Structure 1
Amino acid sequence: MSLQLEWSNDQDKQEIPDAWISKLEQLLLLAGESEGIADGEVSLTFTSDEEIHELNREYRGIDRPTDVLSFAMQEEGVDELDIIFEVEHEEDADPISGMLGDIIISVDTALAQSEEYGHSLEREIGFLFVHGFLHLIGYDHQDDETEAEMTAKQEAILQKAGLTR
């Protein structure tokens, strides 16, 4: 197995070009390499502000849209999404063992932020994807020190992929 990206587009305001998906796959491999992660699957969903607002309210208790949400599958936390599946064969007893988690990006917010920061939408989505991936593997930004560490990692990965400001 290797790092795999599964994605879906649940919004209709912005087309997601194949080139962007190729870039996100590259970012996943670069981020995995920088963190020593060679195997796993990440599920990415592009959505709207309305949908991410609902998810943010339901799972984080925050009543507003956000740019990106991450739901790690490898954590043992009470805040993670419930996963329901049926096992058809005994050899399929652990179908999520390689699943790192879900990343959900609001294309509406990504577009607004790309305009605000003066860079491309592709760069903003790449940034949000890497940010979400780092959350999936345990990084957080609760204080200045951890935020600086996460920001440095994100920028290094984006630079390697050629997604500069």
Structure 2
Amino acid sequence: MPIYNLSELFLTKVNFIFEHLPDNRLSKKEFKGKVKMALRIIEESENMNLESVNLRITDDESVREFNKSYLNHDYYTDVITFDYNDGTADVMISSVTVLKNAENYSVSFSNELLRVVIHSFLHLAGYDDISLAKQKIMKLKEDHYLKVVETITF
């Protein structure tokens, strides 16, 4: 079994900003590890290279305000991804919408949260979900990467 230097394994810096989380639904340590692993796997598999990502988990109103101000979309959403095309990105996630979606899909909060993080990383890798066909491709990729990351224990 190969031995990895973790500083070499996780090349992209991820800044975690936890502003709003449901009580006792997430192990931050485990979540951070899975996010970093998902990013590393997607970067390698999708030939993507980032320097840093700011991952902000906040509430519905904050995400809606950014959605309205920067994308001219006046509605709630689970995740918004800002790719600055310079090796940096911002990801904003509404924990409120993620929790509602988790309940609707009968999955855990942590599973749905990781899914939307993977979804945002796929956007950073160049995928979009504008058409139904592209949505299907992204969903298949989300499922694949989620399954890979969920098999890793931390």
What TM bracket, shorter-length normalisation?
A: 0.7 to 0.9
SS where residue 118 of structure 2 aligns? helix
Residue number in structure 2 paired with 1:5: 14
User: Which stretches in structure 1 are left out of the alignment for 5+ residues?
Assistant: 75-96
Residue number in structure 1 paired with 2:31: 20
Is the aligned partner of 1:113 residue 2:122? no
Residue number in structure 2 paired with 1:78: none
Residue number in structure 2 paired with 1:102: 90
Is the aligned partner of 1:64 residue 2:52? no
One of 127, 134, 147 as aligned partner of 2:135: 147
% same residue: 28
Q: Distance in 2 between matches of 1:39 and 1:65?
A: 27
Using the TM superposition, give the Cα deviation of residue 73 of structure 1 relative to its aligned residue in structure 2, in angstroms.
0.9
Instruction: Kindly provide the amino acid, as one letter, of the partner of residue 19 in structure 1.
Output: E
Instruction: Kindly provide the amino acid, as one letter, of the partner of residue 110 in structure 2.
Output: E
Structure (1/2) with the larger helix percentage: 2
The answer to whether the 8 Å contact 1:72/1:137 transfers is: no
Q: Distance in 2 between matches of 1:12 and 1:140?
A: 27
User: Which stretches in structure 2 are left out of the alignment for 5+ residues?
Assistant: 1-7
One of 99, 119, 124 as aligned partner of 1:131: 119
RMSD (Å) for aligned C-alpha atoms: 1.8
Residue number in structure 2 paired with 1:47: 58
Residue number in structure 2 paired with 1:157: 145
Instruction: Kindly provide the amino acid, as one letter, of the partner of residue 12 in structure 2.
Output: L
SS where residue 130 of structure 2 aligns? coil
The answer to whether the 8 Å contact 1:3/1:32 transfers is: no
The answer to whether the 8 Å contact 2:58/2:95 transfers is: yes
**Paired residues, number:** 140
Q: Distance in 1 between matches of 2:110 and 2:81?
A: 19
TM-score by length of 1: 0.77
Q: Distance in 2 between matches of 1:38 and 1:138?
A: 11
Using the TM superposition, give the Cα deviation of residue 153 of structure 1 relative to its aligned residue in structure 2, in angstroms.
1.2
SS where residue 119 of structure 1 aligns? coil
The answer to whether the 8 Å contact 2:21/2:57 transfers is: no
The answer to whether the 8 Å contact 1:70/1:135 transfers is: yes
